[in-house]
Structure 1
Amino acid sequence: MAGAAWTLSSAADLLPASLSLSLLLASLVAILVLGVAAVLFDHLRKIGCMHSLERTSVSDAFFEDPSSLNKVPCPSIFDPAEKYISLIVPAYNEECRLPEALTETFNYLKQRSTADKSFSYEVLIVDDGSTDCTSKVAFGYVKKHKIDNVRVLLLGRNHGKGEAVRKGMLHSRGELLLMLDADGATKITDLEKLEAQVRALAKKADSSLAPSATSSQRLSDVEIAVFGSRAHLEKEALATRKWYRNFLMKGFHLVVLLTAGPGIRDTQCGFKMFTRSAARKLFTNIRLKRWCFDVEIVYLCKHLRIPMAEVSVSWTEIPGSKVRMTSILHMVFELLLIKVGYGLGIWKIYS
């Protein structure tokens, strides 16, 4: 035994110092990679378990009516549509930007409903755990426009924009469901562009049915997703942004392309419309709660064979964005979660 130990020790002494250092570094890298992989897979598993619980749990959420102090039970995406369109507005610390956006939105909705009696709507503001007076501002609009037309869903604590949108979608009543940002960066009138595209795709789907099949489906029964896009403004944005921001955004778009594939140039525009049946499938499957839930929606649309389209919209940059340079790293991590979670079958897609 002593002779064997001496032989190993002598062999180690005879190894070049550079080779010993390389072996040590390789071992440390291997340990680090295995450790990161273990943490990643554990994180994916936890997200999967959480999603399973959310899919099977019965929601006890409700809307508060500030006029009567009554609690209105939240409807479900699985219920039949009661409104023509639902507008879902995720809001986190938006007391300053929300009033202008909501005022413009309600002016448009009221004008359209006056001109067209069949046009019914609801605005669903999802307060994602704000620490300012966002909920107070939102409830002011409930008092003014009545709880049948505007509702506030309080999440209690901050979950992320993706979760706020998901909750709003799952508790909406519209045939069409539109998510739009609380800053009012996109003109509300552009919803008509998305609406027209939804109808065009629905007509195409209806005409492709077999002659023996029943046609003229309800709009809410056809699975369609239409994405507002700022891609046509890219040249102007590249000219005004700093070089390192352009570099980061180009890199992010490349990673998005590798994750979700081609088809949608602008995945991050906060102006997206879904039919009720499409939203039912997408938002009962979605898992990401923060930055890259938009990319996950595109990924799910492709795998669930939900027709997608991209429509150019007007867009103005509004001061107060919550996206920081560090957010890019978080986004890339979430894109990795999508690729690994779905790619390895850790996350199941329910149809």
Structure 2
Amino acid sequence: MQNGILGARGATITGKPTDQGPGSVGLSVVIPAYREEERLAPTLKVVREYLDTHLGLDRADWEVVVVDDGSPDRTAAVALEAGLDEPRIRLVQSDGNRGKGSALRLGVAASLGRRVLIMDADLATPIEELAKLEQTLAEDGHLDAAIGSRAHRDSAIERQQSVLREVLGWVGNRVIRLVAVRGIRDTQCGFKLFDGDQARAAFGAARLDGWAIDVEILQYYRRKGWPVAEVPVRWAHQDGSKVQLLDYLRTLVELMRLNAGGIAVATLYLLGSLFLYKGLWSDLDGSILAHSLQDQNQWEWFFGVTADNISHLRNPLFTDFQNMPDGVNLMGNTVMLGLSVPLTPVTLLFGPTFTLALVFALGIAATAWSWYWLIHRRLTESRWAAAAGGALAAFAPPMISHANAHPNFVVLFMIPVIIDRALRLCEGKNVVRDGVLLGLFSAYQVFLGEEPFLLAAMGMAMFAVVYALYDRDSARRSAAPLGLGLLIALAVSVPLVIFPLYWQFFGPQSYHSVLHGDSAGNPLRALTEYSARSLFGDAETASRLSLNTTEQNAFYGWPLLALATGITLWMWRRPLVRALGLAALAAAVLSLGPSVEIEKFGITVPGPWRVVRHLPLLESVIEGRVAMICAPVFGILIALALDRIIGFRAREHRWVGYLAVAAAIIPILPLPLVTEEREPVPAFITQGLYEDYVMDGRSLVAVPLPDPRDAAALHWQSSTGFGFKLAGGYFNGPDGADRVGIYGAKPRMLDTLLADMRWGTIPAPAVTDDMRDEARRDLAAWNAGVLVLPVRQERSAELSGTISELLGKEPKQVADCLIWHVEPF
């Protein structure tokens, strides 16, 4: 009575009508079955009775496709017997036990329904719940699938699993939502209703054989833009479940297979960041980033002092280990509490140099992957187009320049996440949830870096204004949910950051701005030239066009600028591209500063930065950094272009497109960052010989005192466990009655004199009684216990002679340092 047909991969399809095709049946119910000899017959009886009552008795009303996944028992025989009694029940037999994914793929391929329901053989979700899924699809004509959800707040869990299964299920669900399908709370419920043609396309494209096929199918729907609704259902755990602990492990492996492309992209990003820092990683103890100026010493100190504060239960927002006795407002400095606090165990175990190197390497890779994730999620199905865009956003020339010294400007993985959440608010689907998350994400970014967050906000604002002008309908639809979501985000974030920000702006050693003068903007040529560490770069040219090696904030090169302009004009019809292109142009122009010099004509014209430079917060921004906004914009434009190029039918056109992109990218490929031998910490410090001189809170005065030009003494401190406090320092703090921010401590006669002598600005002076009195007052203000001059210090003889004259006594050499003990005042 039934016919057997050889199916895919050796599967046998039994009872398939030869005169029907896909769409000829109202509903197909696909039931995967493995060792279901006992449960299958009762299940098929219940399903058949419900479908007869609910859908009808006609042959075209419904069908049930049972897929036997190579069961060693009578599962197939039970299905065949049911088919003899009811022709609308058909059997598909696999040639072996391949897994749930394989079974579903075979069953859906054999289905004929205009809609396809997949369900489990154990009736954990009763067949009667089908009505809820159908109602959901009927009420919203835009939906393409309705899936049962045990995680929905209205679901009824009638019988729980064991505690172990609950824990494994919870962990697995969180992993899936993190790495595979976001926004769906329960991907693994085995009760799902699909449009038939879409289901056959999705399962036909699937490759996984195990339990993770649910994730693969939902990812397929997301890529296609087919909306899916989660529907609350009744569910009860059934004894005899086939899911074992090993299946959870196999599912994890399948998830990795499913995300193999993303893992490959992340691996490439990580290899790229390790390539940048290969010189540092090869000798963490003995090398230092040559172009970091003194910032590596400062950043290691920031990570070190945070760990020391946390481990001793001290206030992480303040310390007096620098700038004794006034101290340092750590919230007013870029200590990245969002990373330095959770990485405290790493710093305590391996030291701050290791922590800083780790933050740089992982942070840049994570930032690239985060941009890749946003581009792939929102703009292009092409994984490698998105990967190219993410790479440019994180490894662009200005980012590589800051990678020498400023982790807060290169560890930006939260920015794409914040942008994505803002875009979700514009969609208006779950304003409260998205507003709360945006508030939490924003608060965390404050503790990673405020100035990069401000620049990102400027870029987003410029983009939004231009986009709204070109797509006013979308802007009007988005205004209300976005506005409400931003208010919610503000309500969530303000309580989290209000005290730290109060401390930053009004606490001890706070300041109100840091002035950078009129020469902090980018010269015009800086936009078109190459940076020092680009493949085609020239260090001398880049040096002339930038503040220093850590502030080469543009240097995109003329080929990339030309390509970005060409892409913008090519895709000008898209409001997205218009907004991106004009936002990048605005950022580039603002980065030129308050005055723009046009060298070719020998004239200087006012720049638009002049209009905004005195606005709150912006007054402390180095305007050249505004050009960094262009990096992710150019990355997105490149990704959009590659996505279009990949689709060209003519091979010649594709190659021309690829060559154009290569010509723009190859010149700015980053070279490894330069390292040099690090000056060792004096034995006087490493051997703890200083301890007798700094008791009772007395400070150690390094000669010369640490400042922005030489902060090696900070390394003495951070690498040996913060056993002493330092006079002077390299940090941001106040100066004068108006508390204007400066780099370093308030200048005094003694530290200025010693620094000028160290750098050869002045010769050794003739010491006067007034100078001696002033030196004693300075030492008293620092509560100094000892002055320490390394014997190998440049100009140590002149420095030693001057100090001896000022103090009226000769130094004592202890280990490799000359020291002057200072009696209590």
TM range (shorter): 0.5 to 0.7
- Aligned partners of 1:88 and 1:123 also within 8 Å: yes
Deviation of 1:324 (Å): 1.4
2:225 paired residue among 305, 320, 323: 305
Between the aligned residues of both structures, percent identity stands at 35
Partner residue, 2:14: 64
Q: Supply the distance in 2 between the matched residues of 1:275 and 1:165 (Cα, whole angstroms).
A: 15
Partner residue, 2:241: 321
- Aligned partners of 1:125 and 1:151 also within 8 Å: yes
- Aligned partners of 1:139 and 1:152 also within 8 Å: yes
1:280 paired residue among 200, 206, 219: 200
Q: Which has the higher contact order (CA 8 A, sep 6+)?
A: 1
Partner residue, 1:33: none
2:170 paired residue among 226, 250, 264: 250
Partner residue, 1:295: 215
> Does the alignment pair 1:112 with 2:54?
yes
- Is the alpha carbon distance of 1:119 and 1:339 closer, same or farther for their aligned partners in structure 2, counting shifts above 3 Å? same
Partner residue, 2:76: 135
Partner residue, 2:519: none
1:174 paired residue among 109, 113, 127: 113
1:123 paired residue among 61, 64, 70: 64
Partner residue, 2:93: 154
- Is the alpha carbon distance of 1:58 and 1:129 closer, same or farther for their aligned partners in structure 2, counting shifts above 3 Å? closer
Q: Secondary structure at the match of 1:130?
A: coil
- Aligned partners of 2:149 and 2:155 also within 8 Å: no
What amino acid is aligned across from residue 124 of structure 1 in structure 2? V
1:108-155 deviation digits (Å, cap 9, x = unpaired)? 1112244x8697000000111010000111111111112xx1110111
- Is the alpha carbon distance of 1:173 and 1:261 closer, same or farther for their aligned partners in structure 2, counting shifts above 3 Å? closer
- Is the alpha carbon distance of 1:180 and 1:244 closer, same or farther for their aligned partners in structure 2, counting shifts above 3 Å? closer
> Does the alignment pair 1:229 with 2:149?
yes
1:245-284 deviation digits (Å, cap 9, x = unpaired)? 4443332122101222322111111101110232133112
- Aligned partners of 1:224 and 1:307 also within 8 Å: yes
- Aligned partners of 1:260 and 1:298 also within 8 Å: no
- Aligned partners of 1:286 and 1:296 also within 8 Å: yes
- Aligned partners of 1:255 and 1:335 also within 8 Å: no
- Aligned partners of 1:100 and 1:184 also within 8 Å: no
Q: Supply the distance in 2 between the matched residues of 1:330 and 1:185 (Cα, whole angstroms).
A: 22
2:27 paired residue among 85, 91, 98: 85
- Aligned partners of 2:147 and 2:228 also within 8 Å: yes
Q: Supply the distance in 2 between the matched residues of 1:193 and 1:119 (Cα, whole angstroms).
A: 22
Q: Secondary structure at the match of 1:153?
A: strand
Q: Secondary structure at the match of 1:284?
A: helix
Deviation of 1:188 (Å): 0.6
Q: Secondary structure at the match of 1:336?
A: helix
Deviation of 1:164 (Å): 0.5
Q: Which runs of 5+ in 2 are unaligned?
A: 1-6, 266-380, 384-825
Q: Secondary structure at the match of 2:67?
A: strand
Q: Supply the distance in 1 between the matched residues of 2:166 and 2:22 (Cα, whole angstroms).
A: 45
TM-score normalised by length of structure 2: 0.30
Higher Cα radius of gyration = 2
Q: Supply the distance in 2 between the matched residues of 1:233 and 1:101 (Cα, whole angstroms).
A: 27
Q: Supply the distance in 2 between the matched residues of 1:251 and 1:155 (Cα, whole angstroms).
A: 31
Q: Give the 5 Å matches for 1:186-265.
A: 186-201=125-140, 203=141, 205=142, 224-232=144-152, 243-265=163-185
**When the two structures are aligned, how many residues end up with a matched partner?**
262
Q: Supply the distance in 1 between the matched residues of 2:195 and 2:80 (Cα, whole angstroms).
A: 27
- Aligned partners of 2:156 and 2:234 also within 8 Å: no
Q: Supply the distance in 2 between the matched residues of 1:236 and 1:276 (Cα, whole angstroms).
A: 28
Deviates more, 1:312-321 or 1:81-90: 312-321
Structure 1: 4+ residue segments shifted above 2 A: 57-65, 71-75, 116-119, 232-237, 239-251, 341-345
Q: Supply the distance in 2 between the matched residues of 1:235 and 1:312 (Cα, whole angstroms).
A: 4
Q: Supply the distance in 2 between the matched residues of 1:86 and 1:240 (Cα, whole angstroms).
A: 29
1:271-326 deviation digits (Å, cap 9, x = unpaired)? 01110232133112111111211111121111111110000111121111011122
1:218-243 deviation digits (Å, cap 9, x = unpaired)? xxxxx712111111489997x96555
What amino acid is aligned across from residue 134 of structure 1 in structure 2? T
Q: Supply the distance in 2 between the matched residues of 1:118 and 1:96 (Cα, whole angstroms).
A: 27
Q: Supply the distance in 1 between the matched residues of 2:90 and 2:162 (Cα, whole angstroms).
A: 40
Deviation of 1:73 (Å): 5.4
> Does the alignment pair 1:336 with 2:277?
no
- Is the alpha carbon distance of 1:73 and 1:309 closer, same or farther for their aligned partners in structure 2, counting shifts above 3 Å? same
Q: Supply the distance in 1 between the matched residues of 2:155 and 2:118 (Cα, whole angstroms).
A: 26
Deviates more, 1:80-89 or 1:241-250: 241-250
Q: Supply the distance in 2 between the matched residues of 1:234 and 1:159 (Cα, whole angstroms).
A: 35
Q: Supply the distance in 1 between the matched residues of 2:382 and 2:240 (Cα, whole angstroms).
A: 37
- Aligned partners of 2:153 and 2:232 also within 8 Å: no
Q: Supply the distance in 1 between the matched residues of 2:160 and 2:67 (Cα, whole angstroms).
A: 32
1:271 paired residue among 167, 171, 191: 191
Deviation of 1:199 (Å): 2.2
Q: Supply the distance in 1 between the matched residues of 2:133 and 2:151 (Cα, whole angstroms).
A: 15
Partner residue, 2:40: 98
- Is the alpha carbon distance of 1:273 and 1:344 closer, same or farther for their aligned partners in structure 2, counting shifts above 3 Å? farther
- Is the alpha carbon distance of 1:109 and 1:235 closer, same or farther for their aligned partners in structure 2, counting shifts above 3 Å? closer
- Aligned partners of 2:149 and 2:230 also within 8 Å: yes
Q: Which runs of 5+ in 1 are unaligned?
A: 1-56, 66-70, 206-222
- Aligned partners of 1:62 and 1:73 also within 8 Å: no
- Aligned partners of 1:63 and 1:72 also within 8 Å: no
- Aligned partners of 2:156 and 2:235 also within 8 Å: no
Deviation of 1:338 (Å): 1.3
Q: Supply the distance in 2 between the matched residues of 1:246 and 1:138 (Cα, whole angstroms).
A: 32
Q: Supply the distance in 2 between the matched residues of 1:186 and 1:200 (Cα, whole angstroms).
A: 22
1:145 paired residue among 79, 86, 93: 86
RMSD: 3.2
Q: Supply the distance in 2 between the matched residues of 1:234 and 1:329 (Cα, whole angstroms).
A: 30
Q: Supply the distance in 1 between the matched residues of 2:105 and 2:263 (Cα, whole angstroms).
A: 22
Q: Supply the distance in 1 between the matched residues of 2:19 and 2:382 (Cα, whole angstroms).
A: 27
- Is the alpha carbon distance of 1:130 and 1:234 closer, same or farther for their aligned partners in structure 2, counting shifts above 3 Å? farther
Deviation of 1:342 (Å): 5.9
Deviation of 1:340 (Å): 1.5
Deviates more, 1:82-91 or 1:332-341: 332-341
- Is the alpha carbon distance of 1:241 and 1:181 closer, same or farther for their aligned partners in structure 2, counting shifts above 3 Å? closer
Q: Secondary structure at the match of 1:231?
A: coil
- Aligned partners of 2:137 and 2:146 also within 8 Å: yes
